[in-house]
A = this chain, B = another copy of it.
Amino acid sequence: MSQMTGTQSIRFDREIYINSYASVVGQKEGEGPLGAQFDQVEEDPLYGCNTWEEAESRFQTEAARRAAAKAGLSMEEIRLIYAGDLLAQCSASTFGISSLERPLYGLFGACSTMGEALSMASMAVAGGYADPVLALTSSHFGSAEKEFRFPLDYGSQRPLSASWTVTGSGACVVGTKKGKVRIAGLTTGKIVDYGLKDSQNMGACMAPAACDTISRNLADFGWQPGAYDRIVTGDLGFVGQQILFDLLEQEGWDIRGQHMDCGMMIFDPASQDTHAGGSGCGCSASVLAAELLPRLAAGEWKRLLFVPTGALMSKVSFYEGQSVPGIAHGVILEHVEG
């Protein structure tokens, strides 16, 4: 039986593992620093489909199939799926998962969704409710720009604080079958709203939530930042990272020695013109599968806090002058010896 820990955290007493992981990304991601590590780089942004949205669904389906196959599972053996994405009414997941014909709980946590999906999946497995469980998310540059910003044909200039939505999907199979990485605990995020309204500076909107979840995680487990080899946020980018450091310093924490950000890892800002970095549900999910989990599995890192961050906004909330609150969910990942 698991244990509630502190005020927002869970420690799993039962051993829960990540059995496999897969990533499928677009061409630009394939040209970035992690290009060789993705399972598949699809050069056609439409992935043979008619729309960005259908293409995003296909990225998700392919990541799901690859993750299941790498765990030696047929899709029928997946007991339960947790999935979500950035689009209105999570439609990339709807039309992606539909073809897999598995039981599904849909999630929305904006770019924090991979943290939420892994949290739900590990709870389901640890509780004996489902085993194995698939957790996955996706995003697509074309569908996200259409959903949140301007028609691509406008060629709108983007401020340096803006991020570039990752085209891709990451998927993990979570189960009790022993693997090389275990999910040891969780910290559930709260919505944190500093009243910021600039959707072209989402790093600043999300940094307070990342600070809240990281400091709560450290307090709940009674750890110093050094208990982690790495603390990896989702898509704060270069602007958000500095704000995170400043906010955490006010709380008495210095994570400069441990911090990485998926959004800062997936593109090369010098050559790829991606400004603050990558973003989107697919950013942290694909970097998790391509870079973080392999290094944990190899024992290069022993313990990592994965903290995807989400900016909770819609077109309507933006037009109505609402702020952009943030949320971040923490997942403790540990290398398993032997």
Contacts and interface: CB of A to CB of B under 8 A. Distances in A.
Interface of A: 1-4, 8, 10, 50-51, 53-54, 79-80, 84, 86-91, 94-95, 97-98, 101-110, 116, 119-120, 123-124, 126-131, 146-147, 188-191, 193, 312-317, 320, 322, 325, 327, 329
Contacts of A51: 320
Closest 4 CB pairs of A and B: A127-B127, A88-B88, A103-B188, A89-B314
Nearest to A126: B127
A235 to B, nearest CB: 16
7 contacts: A4-B130, A53-B316, A87-B314, A89-B312, A104-B189, A105-B109, A106-B108
A336 B116 CA distance: 33
B109 A109 contact: no
Contacts of A124: 123
Contacts of A317: 53, 89, 91, 94-95
A120 B188 CA distance: 14
Given A98-B325, A314-B88, A108 B110 contact: no
Given A53-B316, A97-B191, 7 more contacts: A4-B130, A10-B130, A94-B317, A95-B317, A105-B107, A105-B329, A126-B127
Contacts of A128: 1-4
Nearest to A97: B191
Nearest to A10: B129
Contact of A95 (B4, B8, B84, B322): B322
A193 B109 CA distance: 25
A99 to B, nearest CB: 9
A28 to B, nearest CB: 23
Contacts of A190: 101-104
Contacts of A80: 188
Nearest to A315: B88
Nearest to A129: B10
A191 B127 contact: no
A107 B108 contact: yes
B127 A105 contact: no
Nearest to A89: B314
A313 B191 contact: no
A103 B10 contact: no
A147 to B, nearest CB: 7
Counting chain B CB atoms within 10 Å of each CB, the highest count among A53, A98, A126, A329 belongs to: A98
B193 A98 contact: yes
Among A84, A94, A316, A329, which residue has the most Cβ atoms of chain B within 10 A? A94
Contact of A88 (B79, B94, B131, B316): B316
Contact of A191 (B98, B191, B316, B320): B98
A79 to B, nearest CB: 7
Contacts of A95: 317, 322, 325
A136 B61 CA distance: 30
Contacts of A89: 86, 88, 108, 110, 312-314, 317
B105 A90 contact: no
A10 B108 CA distance: 23
A109 B110 contact: no
